[in-house]
Structure 1
Amino acid sequence: MWKHYLVGLLVSIAAVYLFLRAAPPGQMLSSFDQLNLWWLAPATAVYVLSYCFRAIRWHYLMRPVALVKFRPLFSSLMIGFLGNNILPAHLGEVVRAIVLGRSEGVSKSATLATVVLERVYDGLTVLFMLLLVLLFVDLPVGQVEGSLITAKNLHTAGWMGLALFAGLLAALQAFRWQRAVSLKVMAWLMRPLPQRISAKVLEGCDAFCDGLAVARASDLVWIGVYSLCTWGVLALWAWMFILAFGINLGFMAGVLMEVVLALALLIPAAPAFVGTFHLAAAATLAFMGANPGVAGSYAMVIWLDHFVSTTLLGMYYLWRLGLGWGALTGKALQDKAR
């Protein structure tokens, strides 16, 4: 795991360096005075609401595997995001699949497949939001001082994201619709491996396929609805913090902020997305006209709100479920999927 930490750490160090160059600490400190603290509680409540929508959507994704109620889904979700705050390479997603698998007695491999599908739907929803921004927002032309973002870069990121998520969705659907053929291909690729290992991997892949199905067409509709609700609420959260700094921008500024943050968080980084989150948030707000100091302060505050809320909720549910820190470390990640 240390290699994942090292790669992410190097990326985060570079991102922090660029962030501090774009938003000098002195300017950031003086800009904190603009923050209206009365916005913190409602904005945090809105942020937690986005996780409620995620948990409800996960219920529909889990229907082909098992009927799971809201509470275990929400608790596993928050433990997983706590894992993302301390583990590299988004391994918190694996943690939440393991936690839910243990608590509900369902296949961890199939549960992990629903998590992968969830991220694909997230990506497609974010690309839809980016399309709305490109169609209906008058974006600044050329390079804005203090920002690394341009309208051209947003178009490029959109096309790259579309290729990534469309390719991933096609691969997942191949496993779903051509299950036998896909497993035969996997078996052929693993011929050099010992029989014991390849058999275990194939068993996990077979269970993984169980989680790729959608039970009914209506479930797919609800998955889409709750995907839009999740990201719409996240955009509202980002916009509320823009207003908290006294910046008069419309709601689409929050939409653009969430689009850029979502794309930036695909980049490998240190745990809790240190650096990449800050740079993306500051660059986006500067692109929309804020001065570098305010953009940097905004990035620090919105990251802290994300980090503190997910960490506290994750720790609370670890305690409620009687789990130790082993649920977030190698003990959990080495647990064999059933």
Structure 2
Amino acid sequence: MPKMLKNVIKFICFFGIGVLLIWLFTKDITNVMWDQIYTAFRKANYWLVIPAMVIGVASHWFRAIRWKLLMKPLGHQPSTLNTFFAVMVGYLANLAVPRLGEVTRCGILAQYEKVPADKLVGTMIAERAVDMVCLLLLMAITVLTQLDVLGTYVNHDIFQPLSRKVANANGTQLLIGIVILALFIVFFLWLLRRFARSKVAITIRNLARGVMEGIFSIGKMENKGWFLVQTVLIWSCYLSQVYIGFFCLTETTHLGISAALAVLMIGSVGMIVTPGGIGAYQPLVQKALELYGIPYAIGFAFGWIIWVAQTLLVILLGFISLVALPIYNKQPKKV
């Protein structure tokens, strides 16, 4: 099957899932509630979306700088603009097909900066691992500092469902799963040994080596403190966007940093599970705001305002980056 056709099918499937989630989220909304939602949209102060979007641009810029830091130990220093363009095109691709953006941004930087793609994949994996750790730390801090508000929600909606799934998996099922995984690993290693001199095996080994070099580039960085600063700046920008967003609606202006942390934590999960968070981000944000006494209609409107602003920013910067890449690379590059 052609690669383009596969991507189209993936896009249709994941977009369909997003639309389905939106339908499930909105099918029980009454006419009265729709009126309240429309009123919230009409009264929103959309001028405050502008500074939130500016902060969003800054977060993407900091991410580009942080990614560059991971490449330096590997002997490569791409230009900051090319790195930024690659990040934005990657985000744009992710709106269509989940994880396609990770491959896309590595491919773009490999093309324009001649950095080995396999090493870029490793740095990308390392970067994503750092962000996952940050998200887990954010969850722990948010829950521990707001046990009175979030404790029941996390226990009832997250821990209990996970516990039930684990409890329903009996010992035989777990053993079968472990055996299948072990057999797959053994078979894969046997294939590599059996065809050790084949082009495929050599390519796989080189790819694995490059990926590992990229992952371990964190440990080889000279200025780990600057990497940490960039990481803090990225997540501070995310938090600031949510906090500024509170002032778009009169009913959410009283909410503080604690509520913004909760929305960021729960909303981030929505951005992970579907392309660009479509159909998942909005209901999760609405649910988070409900914990702070925000009515359904207001939470609904807030979730959509923040999501649309973030998505439009990615689309705008993504297309600008696509156009700017060939133009910028005709000129002498500056690091």
Shift of 1:130: 1.4
The equivalent of 1:16 in structure 2 is 22
Query: C-alpha offsets along residues 16-40 of structure 1, whole Å, 9 cap, x if unaligned?
Result: 1232147654432221133112211
The equivalent of 2:199 in structure 1 is 196
Structure 2: unaligned runs, 5 residues or longer: 1-5, 164-184, 328-335
Inter-partner Cα distance in structure 2 for 1:193 and 1:18:
50
Inter-partner Cα distance in structure 2 for 1:274 and 1:193:
44
Query: C-alpha offsets along residues 167-206 of structure 1, whole Å, 9 cap, x if unaligned?
Result: xxxxxxxxxxxxxxxx999643546889333332222222
Q: Secondary structure of the residue that 1:57 maps to in structure 2?
A: helix
Inter-partner Cα distance in structure 1 for 2:84 and 2:265:
24
Q: Percent identity?
A: 21
Does the 8 Å contact 2:143/2:151 carry over to 1?
A: no
Does the 8 Å contact 2:270/2:277 carry over to 1?
A: no
Change (3 A) 1:184 1:110: farther
Inter-partner Cα distance in structure 2 for 1:205 and 1:95:
19
Does the 8 Å contact 1:79/1:318 carry over to 2?
A: yes
Counterpart of 1:38, as a letter, is W
The equivalent of 1:210 in structure 2 is 213
Shift of 1:218: 4.6
Q: Which has the higher helix share?
A: 2
The equivalent of 1:106 in structure 2 is 115
Q: Secondary structure of the residue that 1:264 maps to in structure 2?
A: helix
Does the 8 Å contact 2:65/2:80 carry over to 1?
A: yes
Does the 8 Å contact 1:28/1:294 carry over to 2?
A: yes
Query: C-alpha offsets along residues 221-255 of structure 1, whole Å, 9 cap, x if unaligned?
Result: 33222222211110110111122112111112222
Inter-partner Cα distance in structure 2 for 1:51 and 1:110:
21
The equivalent of 1:68 in structure 2 is 78
Inter-partner Cα distance in structure 1 for 2:41 and 2:266:
23
Change (3 A) 1:7 1:139: farther
Question: Residues 42-191 of structure 1 correspond to what in structure 2 (within 5 A)?
Answer: 42-65=51-74, 66-85=76-95, 87-140=96-149, 150-152=153-155, 156=159, 187-188=189-190, 190=192
Change (3 A) 1:28 1:211: same
Inter-partner Cα distance in structure 2 for 1:207 and 1:184:
22
Count of aligned pairs: 291
Matched, 1:231 2:235: yes
Question: Residues 21-32 of structure 1 correspond to what in structure 2 (within 5 A)?
Answer: 21=27, 25-32=34-41
Counterpart of 1:213, as a letter, is F
Does the 8 Å contact 1:113/1:209 carry over to 2?
A: yes
Q: Secondary structure of the residue that 2:326 maps to in structure 1?
A: coil
Q: What is the aligned counterpart of 1:304 among 293, 303, 308?
A: 308
When structure 1 is superposed on structure 2, of 99-108 and 285-294 the one drifting more is 285-294
Does the 8 Å contact 2:56/2:238 carry over to 1?
A: yes
Query: C-alpha offsets along residues 83-140 of structure 1, whole Å, 9 cap, x if unaligned?
Result: 112x212211110011011111011111111111111111111111112211222543
Does the 8 Å contact 2:72/2:221 carry over to 1?
A: no
Select the structure of larger CA radius of gyration: 2
Q: Secondary structure of the residue that 1:89 maps to in structure 2?
A: coil
Change (3 A) 1:108 1:292: same
Matched, 1:220 2:229: no
The equivalent of 1:260 in structure 2 is 266
Inter-partner Cα distance in structure 2 for 1:296 and 1:230:
26
Matched, 1:320 2:324: yes
Query: C-alpha offsets along residues 31-71 of structure 1, whole Å, 9 cap, x if unaligned?
Result: 11331122111111111111121112111111123122321
Counterpart of 1:33, as a letter, is R
Counterpart of 2:230, as a letter, is Y
Query: C-alpha offsets along residues 275-307 of structure 1, whole Å, 9 cap, x if unaligned?
Result: 112222222222322111111111111111111
Inter-partner Cα distance in structure 2 for 1:255 and 1:141:
11
Matched, 1:39 2:48: yes
Counterpart of 2:247, as a letter, is L
TM-score (norm 2): 0.77
Inter-partner Cα distance in structure 2 for 1:154 and 1:49:
34
Q: Secondary structure of the residue that 1:64 maps to in structure 2?
A: helix
Counterpart of 1:254, as a letter, is A
